[in-house]
Amino acid sequence: MRRMAVITALVLAVLASGLPAHAQVAEPNIRVTAQRPDSRLKTVTKRVIFSTAQGESRPDRVVRVRNIGSATLNVSSMTITGTNASRFAITDASGAGFMLAPGAFRDVPLSFTPLTLGFGRYAAQLETDSNDPGSPTTITQLKGLHAEGYEEDLEPTLFAALSTLGFEPAGLPQTNLNPNVTYEDEVNTTYFRPSKSHGRVALIPMARYSTVIPDNCCPAGWFERVPAKTKHRLQNWSGGPEDTGENQKLMPIPGTPPSVNPSDTNPNKTTFAPGGDFGLYSGTDLSGSAARSMRFFHARRADRDNFYEDVWIVVEDQGTGANGSSTVRNFDHNDFVWLLVNALPVAGA
């Protein structure tokens, strides 16, 4: 009996300590992730987003290939496939393959060149083949949006912008919104509150198709319900010339120089902790206004018939007086678009 007890104790000790080091198998483990600004949406959608207008050249986007495993990662090839594969390209030698030691990474630049008169949405896939036994082929979605021009009818619709980003709220029209209609996935509210106990909320810029301006403009942020409408700025939107600025594009970056950071000390940030009910504002537009300048939709996935819990799409139609604009509202609601994360609408507010 004593011998059996000793053996049992040894078995339990081995189980508690895990397998000996020499018995563990070293393996590579690949991760392919979009870098900023696309990575700000990593919690809800995994894709690399491109946008341009009038066929203008825009900066490359970047994916980071990282080896988080314990053996050398051999990336044998990176190729672009799919419907519009010829419109996207890897702009360095990464497509021919490379090797990464454990913990190392490589940033791979990607470009988007739409047809000159081919306005609308584009789609392809980046396929990364490697010796990762658990993921020999990693797929990354590539999405592009080519606008006919700048402002008014030359801009893409809200539907086109959102579907490129990976969202398709149910009932949303492929035209400007009707100010007298509440759509299927829309919620009418003035106030939200944090949905998780930690109380941190994120307001992430996703799109901007508003008046072209040379400099910063348009403060955006949140306000407290109590004390009444105390504003807290989170971001200013960057400007610039048409072909290089942040005025009209997907995944714009607020600030001068263009930047956004979750740090509470950064002049442009995405996260905040309201501590109670809060509304949103952009310039002089407030959530819950009679003009319905700011509207809210469930963040329903474009590729599935469900939506992300406690995540909302916030859209604004800029008009007279808002952000200093003299533009008459046209209800396109693509002037400023955000993703609101970790929030619940306050019933009856």
Which residue ranges form the domains of the chain, and what is each CATH number? Answer: 30-147 (2.60.40.10), 152-345 (no CATH)
Rounded mean pLDDT of 138-157? 92
Of 218, 169, 179, 173, nearest in space to 318 by CA:
218
Percent with pLDDT over 90 in the chain: 62
pLDDT tens-digit profile of 262-283?
Answer: 666 677 888 999 989 999 999 8
pLDDT tens-digit profile of 204-223?
Answer: 999 999 888 777 778 899 99
pLDDT of 95 > 90? The answer is: yes
Query: How many CA atoms lie less than 13 Å away from 257 in the CB half-sphere?
Result: 0
Max mean pLDDT among 154-168, 200-214, 239-253 falls in: 154-168
| pLDDT reported for residue 7 | 42
pLDDT, mean over the chain: 86
Rounded mean pLDDT of 148-177? 93
| pLDDT reported for residue 257 | 64
- The encoded tokens of residue 305 equal 């018939």
Structural contact between residues 14 and 22, judged by C-beta atoms closer than 8 angstroms: no
* 300, amino acid identity: R
Give this prediction's pTM: 0.86
* 99, amino acid identity: M
